[in-house]
Structure 1
Amino acid sequence: MTRQPDAPRHVVASGADADTVVRRLTRDGWTVREGFALPDPAWDVTNARLVLHGRVVDRENLQLAVLAAARGAGIVAVCDADSLVGRALIDDLSRLGAVQLGPGGQPAPAEPGDTVAELVPEQRALLDRLAAGDTIAAAAAAEFLSLRTANRRIAEARALFGVRTTREAVLAYLRQRRTPG
C-alpha cells in the first residue's frame, strides 16, 4: 500500500489567500469542496485526496473543520489566527500534524529564538513534565497520550530546537521560556 502524503492543513487570513492555496492544491491533484461537512460516509477519507475550505468564525465551524482533518481531509480555513477561535483551531489542527499559516505553504516563521512559540500545546506540556522530573512514560500518561505519540511529539520538539537529545530539548525549552520577550 502506498502511503498518502499528509493532508494539507492551512490557516489563512483572507479569502484571497485561501484562493491561492486552493488553486495550488487543485493543481497538485486534490479535490476541493467548500464547507467543512464531509460528504463521504466513510470515516477515513485520506485516499480521496479531499480538501475542504471555508471561513471559521465560530465553535461549530471549528469543530467541523477539526473533525474533517481528523478523518483525513485537507483543510484551508480562513480565520484570524490571533482570535480565540483561531488559536483554538491552530492548536487542535496542530495535534494532527503540521499547520501552515498563510498562503506560502510554509509554517509561519517564528521570531529568532522563539522556538517555544512553534511548539504545539502537547509538546509544551510534555516538556514541562520532563523538566519537573517525570519520565516520558509518566508524562505521556499524565497528558493522556500514548507513549508512541509522546515520543513523536518530543522528537518533533528536538528537531525544532535543533538538538539530538531529549535532555538538550528540555534545557533549550527552559532557557527560551524564561527569556523575556
Structure 2
Amino acid sequence: MNPQPDTPRHVVATAADAETVLRRLARDGWTARPGFALPDPAWDVAAAHIVLHGRIGDDDTDTARLAVLAAARGAGVVAVCDTESPAGRALVDDLGRIGQVHRGADGADPVAHLIPEQRALLDRLAAGDTIAAAAAAEFLSLRTANRRIAEARALFGVRTTREAVLAYLRQRQPD
C-alpha cells in the first residue's frame, strides 16, 4: 500500500507547534492518538484517518522507526523532534521517502520561501565561496548579499551563516 499523497507527515520543533497542527488536522477529520504504535493489525490504515503524534528524542531510534512504519502504513504522523540532531535528520529523510514532509506548524518548508537571490547565494556558499565572492558572482552589493543571507538565517531559525547553508543543503530538493 502506498500512503495517500494528502496523508499528513509533520516534523515540528515544539509541543505547541504539534498542538497547532493536530487541531487543524482534527478539523479536517483526522483522529489524533498519542504514540506511534498502531493498534490496528491491518496493514493499510489510511481509511481510518488516524494521526499519531509524540516526541522523538535525539537518541530514540526505536520511536523514530515506529513513526516511519506508521506513515508507511498510511497513518498521519506529527513528530516533535530536533531536526538538527542525527535522529531528527534521519526521521525527515525516512519520512521523505514515503511522501512530502511538512516542517513547522504552518506546514511550510523554509526552502520554499527563499527568493532566487537567496538560493543562488546559498548554493555559492555551499560550494565554498565567501559572501563577498558570491555577491560579486550574483551581481549584488555586499550589503544586499548580507541582508539576503540574514533573511535566510531567520527563515531557517539559525544563528550562523554556516548553519543556514547546512539547513539549506539538507532541505532543498535534489536537482
State TM-score, norm by structure 1. 0.61
Q: Does the Cα contact within 8 Å between 1:100 and 1:108 map onto a contact in 2?
A: no
Structure whose CA Rg is larger = 2
Please tell me the root mean square deviation across aligned C-alpha atoms, in Å: 1.9
Q: Which runs of 5+ in 2 are unaligned?
A: 124-167
Aligned length: 119
Q: 1:79 maps to what in 2?
A: 81
Moved runs in structure 1, 4+ residues, more than 3 A? 114-117
1:53 is displaced (CA, Å) by 0.2
Q: Does the Cα contact within 8 Å between 2:9 and 2:76 map onto a contact in 1?
A: yes
1:4 is displaced (CA, Å) by 5.4
Q: 1:118 maps to what in 2?
A: 172
Q: Does the Cα contact within 8 Å between 1:54 and 1:78 map onto a contact in 2?
A: yes
1:29 is displaced (CA, Å) by 0.6
* Inter-partner Cα distance in structure 1 for 2:98 and 2:110: 17
Tell me, yes or no, if structure 1 residue 102 matches structure 2 residue 104. Answer: yes
Q: 1:36 maps to what in 2?
A: 36
1:5 is displaced (CA, Å) by 5.0
Matched residue type, 2:73: R
Matched residue type, 1:97: G
Matched residue type, 1:24: R
Q: 1:60 maps to what in 2?
A: 62
* Inter-partner Cα distance in structure 1 for 2:41 and 2:109: 31
Matched residue type, 1:73: A
Q: 2:15 maps to what in 1?
A: 15
Q: Does the Cα contact within 8 Å between 1:12 and 1:18 map onto a contact in 2?
A: yes
Q: Which runs of 5+ in 1 are unaligned?
A: 125-172, 174-181
Q: 2:95 maps to what in 1?
A: 93
* Inter-partner Cα distance in structure 1 for 2:79 and 2:110: 15
Sort the Cα spacing of 1:5 and 1:48 in 2 relative to 1 into closer, same or farther, 3 A: farther
Q: 1:25 maps to what in 2?
A: 25
Q: Does the Cα contact within 8 Å between 1:18 and 1:76 map onto a contact in 2?
A: yes
Q: 2:144 maps to what in 1?
A: none
* Inter-partner Cα distance in structure 2 for 1:70 and 1:103: 22
* Inter-partner Cα distance in structure 2 for 1:36 and 1:24: 19
1:17 is displaced (CA, Å) by 0.5
* Inter-partner Cα distance in structure 1 for 2:79 and 2:86: 14
1:118 is displaced (CA, Å) by 1.7
Q: Does the Cα contact within 8 Å between 1:10 and 1:77 map onto a contact in 2?
A: yes
State TM-score, norm by structure 2. 0.63
